[in-house]
Amino acid sequence: MSFADGMAAMNLEFSARVPRMEFSAEMHWSLIKAVTGIDVSTDSGQEFRREAAKAFMKAWNYDFMWNICIDHQVFGDYYTDMGHASYMEGAEDYHAAGVSKFNDEEDVLKFDPWQALGMRDPMALIAKFDDDYDSKVAYFPDAVNMTGVYVTCISGLLDLFGWDLLLAACGTDPKGFGELTDRYASWIQQYFDALAKSKTPIVMVHDDIVWTQGAFIHPDWYRKYVFPNYKKYFAPILEAGKKIIYTSDGNYTEFIDDIAACGVHGFVMEPTVDMKYIADTYGKTHVFVGNADTRILLSGGKEEIQAEVKRCMDIGKKFPGYFMNVGNHIPPNTPVESALWYNECYERLARR
């Protein structure tokens, strides 16, 4: 059973196979058609696509459903829409950048989220998390489900201000930007307090704190303004006995120990992160998810794809909390035959 294997891994117990979690494959309509036989495409209705995706995830035996419900929408008009490139089939997700409410770094540095965004009703927040968790369990009960927050700290500031103003403000006044970060953290704490009181047993915490090359602010700044706030966020969740799974895009290798010290129970990572370090240091105590490279599925041959799956399995298979995953998605432009071969390699090597 997929749920049983997923929960075993979450509880650091060995199962007969290495469980898995994937991103975006359930939106790759050509792949879904090849796997399930369902004639689905970009022209299909939303509900039909939703059911086809569900059948695909069951066929590929998803054990863990990555999910959050708090994102940039909580910022209302203060969200800076940086636009979106074409990703989904048919470019359904493409849109141009919007207009920011912030004119310059001075506007950023003086921003007060409490004044601009206000206090939230705690009971309404708890109900939102509960409803989201319940809906995911109802949609896909065969896997481990969760809910959580996307705009935890750096991701929240990025969605508020956009890259240009965020970097300008931090570069102009790192201390002032740190104080702004503390103000933001005190505001988003409302959501973590509600998560602690919600029914979800597992909390997903997303925060893109780095980019591909690593930290984009001096590491000392993170250790002064980001990780102390993480500890505040997580304290009520840990006290409630819930598990915390952490996700960041990019290469956060240099901060793995800092993040672990904040109390998380697991790491979701892209291929740039040193998964072997996580396995060697935290494999007996933490969940970890990753980190096959989608670029190999996009352009590699069978031997390269098999070698990439084997690399991940050689690192993770000996640990009970490991989930196989293509760490930077299986996007719709992935050749169907490559995705099918990846799955074949996974199923063969997943057996313990």
Domain-embedded: residue 341: yes
pLDDT value, residue 348: 98
pLDDT value, residue 100: 84
pTM of the entire structure?
A: 0.96
Distance of CA 41 to the CA centre of its chain: 26
Res. 95: pLDDT tops 50: no
pLDDT value, residue 165: 96
Instruction: Indicate the range of 67-81, 84-98, 177-191, 335-349 predicted with least confidence.
Output: 84-98
Buried b (16+ CB within 10 A) or exposed e, 295-304: ebbeebeeee
The tokens of 227 are what?
């990780």
Domain-embedded: residue 240: yes
Domain range for residue 100? 65-349
Angle between helices 302-316 and 275-282 (to 10 degrees): 20
Nearest alpha-carbon partner for 35 in 25, 22, 48: 25
Indicate the pLDDT class of residue 101, thresholds 50, 70 and 90: confident
User: How far, in Å, are 71, 229, 247, 303 from residue 207 at the CA level?
Assistant: 11, 12, 6, 34
Q: Tally the C-alpha atoms within 13 A of residue 24's C-alpha that lie toward its C-beta.
A: 15
* Torsional class of 37: left (φ above 0), alpha (ψ -120 to 50), beta (otherwise): left
Rounded (5°) CA angle 251-255-259: 120
Q: Tally the C-alpha atoms within 13 A of residue 295's C-alpha that lie toward its C-beta.
A: 3
User: How far, in Å, are 70, 112, 272 from residue 205 at the CA level?
Assistant: 10, 23, 19
User: How far, in Å, are 136, 154, 227, 342 from residue 345 at the CA level?
Assistant: 29, 36, 38, 5
pLDDT value, residue 83: 55
Domain-embedded: residue 46: no
Averaged pLDDT for residues 119-132: 98
Averaged pLDDT for residues 120-127: 98
For the stretch 226-270, pLDDT in tens is 999 999 999 999 999 999 999 999 999 999 999 999 999 999 999
pLDDT value, residue 21: 97
Domain-embedded: residue 15: no
Res. 345: pLDDT tops 80: yes
Domain-embedded: residue 214: yes
Buried b (16+ CB within 10 A) or exposed e, 229-248: bbeebbbbbbeeebbbbbbb
User: How far, in Å, are 151, 246, 316, 335, 340 from residue 16 at the CA level?
Assistant: 36, 25, 14, 30, 22
* Torsional class of 329: left (φ above 0), alpha (ψ -120 to 50), beta (otherwise): left
Q: Which residues have a Cβ under 8 Å from the Cβ of 26 and sit 6 or more positions away?
A: 32, 53, 56, 57, 62
How many domains, in total, are found in the chain? Answer: 1
96 or 206: which leads in pLDDT: 206
Averaged pLDDT for residues 34-44: 97
CATH number at residue 231: 3.20.20.210
3-class secondary structure per residue, 249-296: CCCCHHHHHHHHHCCCCEEECCCCCCHHHHHHHHCCCCEEEEEECHHH
pLDDT value, residue 81: 82
Spatial contact of 141 and 3, defined as CB atoms under 8 Å apart:
yes
Averaged pLDDT for residues 42-64: 97
For the stretch 313-329, pLDDT in tens is 999 999 999 999 999 89
Question: CB atoms < 10 A from the CB of 19, how many?
Answer: 28
Residue 120, helix vs strand vs coil = coil
Averaged pLDDT for residues 130-145: 97
